[in-house]
Amino acid sequence: MKTKLPKPFNQAMIYEDAKLYACLANYPIIKGHTVVVWKKSVSDLHLLPKKDYEYLMDKVDEVRNALLKSLKVTKIYLIYMDEVSQVHWHLVPRYNEKGFDVFRHKPDELTDFSLTDKIKDNLILKI
């Protein structure tokens, strides 16, 4: 059985174009936890054509930079997991923890969307 990514909350949407979207995670493990999702059904990162992979990674980089500035942290973990067989990245801010400690947080449903506009304001997109 193939698991699907849950539909993002509209208020959580940071960026969207024809190929991908970025939004605050529906069930963040920490404040600012964001996902960048490739829209087309692709089961694994290595199956993306090089041009699409580079486009995706440029957007991941742009969102990461916006998170760094918005949250005033020095590190954002980039985590690729394919448990849902859909290409997507988790961008997880590191506050005062290092390594795997951030994964000890229990995910909880996103209810505070106040970061969305702040991140959008700091998002500088390459043309």
- Give all domains of the chain, ordered by start, each with its CATH number: 10-120 (3.30.428.10)
Calculate helix-pair angle for 50-71, 115-122, nearest 10 degrees: 120
Question: Residues of 6-42 as b/e, b for ≥16 C-beta within 10 angstroms?
Answer: eebbeebebbeeeebbbbbbbebbbebbbbbbbeeeb
The pTM assigned to this predicted structure is 0.91
Q: Encoding tokens for residue 84? A: 């849902």
Phi-psi region of 20 (alpha: psi -120 to 50; beta: other; left: phi over 0): beta
Q: Is the dihedral of CA 93, 21, 53, 69 positive or negative?
A: negative
CB contact at 8 A, 23 and 9? yes
What per-residue confidence (pLDDT) applies to 127? 57
Q: Using 50, 70 and 90 to split pLDDT, how confident is the model at 2?
A: low
The CA-atom distances, in angstroms, between 38 and each of 4, 59, 71, 85 are: 12, 10, 24, 11
Going by pLDDT thresholds of 50, 70 and 90, the confidence category of residue 4 is low
In this model, does residue 65 exceed pLDDT 80? yes
- Residue 1, pLDDT > 50, answer no
Please give the pLDDT value at position 7.
Answer: 81
Q: Using the 8-state DSSP alphabet, how is residue 96 labeled?
A: S
> How does pLDDT run across 87-119, given as a tens digit for each residue?
999 999 998 877 778 888 889 999 999 999 999
pLDDT band at 37 (very low <50, low <70, confident <90, very high): very high
CA distance 31 to 124: 21
